[in-house]
Amino acid sequence: MKENAINIANDFSRFPAGRYESDGPFNGEKFRRKILVPSLQDGKSIIVELDGTAGYGSSFLEEAFGGLIRVEHLRPDVVIKQIHLKSADASLVEEIKGYILSAK
Amino acid sequence: MPSAEIVEKFVTWALVILGWFIIGRDQDRRARRTEVRDSLKSTSQLIIQIEDAAQSYWKLTGDDPESDAAALKLKFSLKQLSGEVVALCRHDVRFGLFIPVATFRKAATGGEFEVKTRKAETRNSQRLVDICSAGLDLREGLAHAFNEVYC
């Protein structure tokens, strides 16, 4: 994995699916705990590349990114500054930002 | 000093060239309009297919053997839809309805999507209504953008 850059298709799975650990091997909870949280430690900024997968369910996205606030208790304004989302699909970026900013 | 005859010829040719330019521009615009209208028709059909696929998916339980394949197909179709909206946006930014696309994806694949313990939705449940509503909003938004750009 390149430093400060996460490519979901290469570093996690081309077939991300499910919300919880019980939903399959490449679920949102696992992505958050194993990939996102360690990458965000020490206030580091990261680029998250979303393209290259077979598509995302909103449940995966909400659990992975909204869970940073809801479960990991990180501050939304800090997370928004630390994570730079990269995708040809602007709707994905908008959706994820919405989860980060509205999660409670 | 150019004679009146030369000026008259120059004006005639200038008008001819201007006419060619205007006709060419109108033909380009008509061709682009037809191309975008066809793309829009195909995108609207895709939205309806996704609505149907999402309705079918949510009527299954999370542990149904067909559930995983239906979910994967749904996600892939939504990715295709995003790609089509991005392509339409290249014609005009007014087609860039990324928030309605995200709302549609959220309605179709949010909540307990791909959660194994999920129960099947009943007919006319709020989830199924939300999927129809978000799909309709997106189709209407695209039609509105087309009218704004080309009518």
Query: Tens-digit pLDDT profile for chain A (104 aa)?
Result: 445 899 999 999 999 999 999 999 999 999 999 999 999 988 889 999 999 999 999 999 999 999 999 999 999 999 999 999 999 999 999 999 999 999 88
pLDDT digits (tens, 9 = 90+) for B39-58: 999 999 999 999 999 999 99
CA of A42, closest CA in chain B: separation in Å? 31
Query: Is this model's pTM higher than 0.95 or not?
Result: no
Instruction: Report pLDDT for A44.
Output: 87
SS3 B122: coil
Chain B residue numbers with beta carbons less than 8 Å from the beta carbon of A58 are 105-106, 108-111, 113
Instruction: Report pLDDT for A1.
Output: 45
Q: What is the CA radius of gyration of chain A?
A: 12
Which value does ipTM take for this structure?
0.92
φ, ψ of residue A70 in degrees (nearest 5): -65, -40
- Can you tell me the mean pLDDT for B102-129? 96
Chain B residue numbers with beta carbons less than 8 Å from the beta carbon of A17 are 68, 71-72, 75, 114
Q: Do A22 and B117 touch (CB under 8 A)?
A: yes
Instruction: Report pLDDT for A3.
Output: 53
Distances (CA, A) of B42 to A45, A103, B148: 40, 35, 19
Q: Do A59 and B109 touch (CB under 8 A)?
A: yes
Share of chain B above pLDDT 70, in %: 99
